[in-house]
Amino acid sequence: MAQWKPAYLIHGDDHGRIAERRASLRARAEAESGANGLEVIEGDGSTPEAVGRALNAMTFAMGRRFVVVDAVERWKPADVEAHVLPALKSLAPDTTVAFFAREDGRAKAPPALGKAVVKAGGDVVEQATFKGRELPKWAMAEAKRLGIELAPAAAQALVAQVGERQQRLLRELEKLALEHGPGAMLDVEEVQDATADSAEIQVWGLVDALVARDRRSLFLTFLELREQGESLPRLVPLMARRIREVLAIADRLEAGESPAQVKASIKGSPWALDRRIKEARGTDPEALRKALETLADLELQTRGMGDMSEDTAAVRALGRMAAA
């Protein structure tokens, strides 16, 4: 059975990891005390005053009582000191309270709350995202925790192939650990062969929407890629490569080659090639050339050579390409 502490504060800007920690704690709490032993305070109802009342309330539930509190980052320090800190000082011995703060910008967990949690005998855990240059080192540490070893170059290759979202990197590391087993030492080639490049797969859909002039799908796919942490310096070359592939096929068909001749000369999945050929037959090669020029301009924007934000530049570029 878990050895529970009186209080926890889980905070930071890695919102995905915080959500996982919350779900895990809630599942463990329900397994130990049942649904009646768990109280969740969230949304507009998550105020210091409401939490103070809940922690001071009498309960007739059997076993340990768990209180999960969300949106702590919105609390004002004065309200925490007035309502929550006194309740933590007199917390019942069979109660565990877990505070969760999804921090962003100025929205932070009140410092006094963290100090009070520690004073009550609890734990404060920060779940922070890493900057791009820090991710290979982080990936190596996570791989070691999972029982495998990543060479430095392999860690860099993993980040380059999967992207900078930590949750996606961790999922790929878990797959590598399951595939290769404890003690495995992985190099660049093994990582590149085994890692699924989901971003590139989604870029195919982005280019499909562009070729089909499907503006709605184009923007939705782009936003999904950005929300999952894909950077424009990575996306732009992937898009350009896919467009060049379709354009090369379109030029060959226009020059008189048959679909069978094109298909016979290109390696890859027959289904995927059939789809590329179908796209090439239905597109305007000149429009694709203009799209490549637009992507070249967008790449300059991503290098700080423009007068607008990356996302604004990207949305405008996609709009021009879809309308070409």
Rounded to two decimals, what is the model's pTM? 0.49
Whether residue 86 lies inside any domain: the answer is yes
Whether residue 311 lies inside any domain: the answer is yes
Number of structural domains in the chain? 3
Closest CA to 61 of 28, 22, 29, 85: 29
Question: What pLDDT, on the 0 to 100 scale, is given for residue 31?
Answer: 86
Question: What pLDDT, on the 0 to 100 scale, is given for residue 50?
Answer: 95
Compute CA 219 distance to the chain's CA centroid, rounded to the nearest angstrom.
19
Q: How far is CA 212 from CA 23, 49, 282, 287, in A?
A: 40, 55, 8, 11
Same domain, 313 and 202: yes
CA dihedral 174, 177, 178, 181 (to 10 degrees): -170
Last-in-domain residue among 99, 126, 153: 126
Question: What pLDDT, on the 0 to 100 scale, is given for residue 1?
Answer: 47
The CATH number of whichever domain residue 172 belongs to comes to 1.10.8.60
Same domain, 319 and 202: yes
Q: What is the rounded CA–CA span in Å between residue 236 and residue 101?
A: 34
Whether residue 2 lies inside any domain: the answer is no
Last-in-domain residue among 126, 159, 186: 126
DSSP 27-71: HHHHHHH-GGGEEEE-GGG--HHHHHHHHHS----SS-EEEEE--
Question: What pLDDT, on the 0 to 100 scale, is given for residue 42?
Answer: 92
Q: What is the rounded CA–CA span in Å between residue 300 and residue 307?
A: 11
- The rounded average pLDDT for each run of 10 residues, N- to C-terminus, in the chain (324 residues) is 85 86 89 88 94 85 87 95 95 94 90 95 88 87 92 88 76 86 88 63 74 82 76 82 88 91 77 78 86 88 71 86 76
Same domain, 12 and 69: yes
Same domain, 118 and 147: no
The CATH number of whichever domain residue 291 belongs to comes to 1.20.272.10
Same domain, 206 and 317: yes
Half-sphere exposure of 204 (CA within 13 A, CB side): 9
Question: What pLDDT, on the 0 to 100 scale, is given for residue 213?
Answer: 77
CA dihedral 128, 130, 131, 136 (to 10 degrees): 180
Name the residue range of residue 105's domain: 7-126
Whether residue 67 lies inside any domain: the answer is yes
Same domain, 164 and 236: no
DSSP 8-state code for residue 102: E
Same domain, 190 and 202: no
Same domain, 74 and 172: no
Same domain, 41 and 143: no
Question: What pLDDT, on the 0 to 100 scale, is given for residue 195?
Answer: 64
Whether residue 15 lies inside any domain: the answer is yes
Whether residue 1 lies inside any domain: the answer is no
Same domain, 216 and 318: yes
Same domain, 217 and 305: yes
Last-in-domain residue among 126, 146, 178: 126
